[in-house]
Amino acid sequence: MIIFSVGCNDEDHDADKKINISQNTDSKYEKTFENLSLGRLFDFNFKLPNPDESWIEIWVEGYKEGEPVEPFPLAKLSYGLGPSEEAEGNLGAGFLELDSDNPQIFIYSKGAQSKPVDIDNDLFSDINAKSWDYAIDDEEVGLNFGEEKVLAVYRLGKDSMRASYDYQDSDELDKMIKEDAVVFVMKIVVEEREDL
């Protein structure tokens, strides 16, 4: 007697329900920001296999001395349900003119962008140390629907700051938010959706 077993591997089933993201350090967008002294830009490459069934939310949270900064989040971009079978391109967040009287933040992705949002200039007073970092490794990262991921952090301190944290560990992230004077956290989530 021969028995055949047919099944479905959940991991393989989820593989086609991901957005794939990777750092795009030294991109033309980042170089332009740097060359024009506009501020700080975090740029990523992304590939979305099912944009017609996906809703993307990218946002930046702000914290001062461990407490959320209003509005919360500071900036947000929501879009999706595109007509194509696959989408890929750039997404990111830019911090404009942080040393000026009118600092701003904006979020962008292929085919969508937020308007620049003003950031309270008081967040930058008495700041002597700055640090920024991508929160994902150099290699491509896949996210399942509903999985929230920290993409980047921008940290400000009154004195010296701890070198780094594990940004994907919620306890480490909370510790950083409490220890640093001001923290900006860029996040993303992709939801499965068929209509608005």
Domain boundaries, the chain: 17-192
pLDDT at position 106: 98
Q: How far apart are the first and last CA of the chain?
A: 52
pLDDT at position 195: 75
- For the full predicted model, state whether its pTM sits above 0.75: yes
Return the H-helix or E-strand segment holding 107. strand 104-109
pLDDT at position 142: 94
Q: Cα separation of 123 and 117, whole Å?
A: 14
Q: What percent of the chain has pLDDT over 90?
A: 68
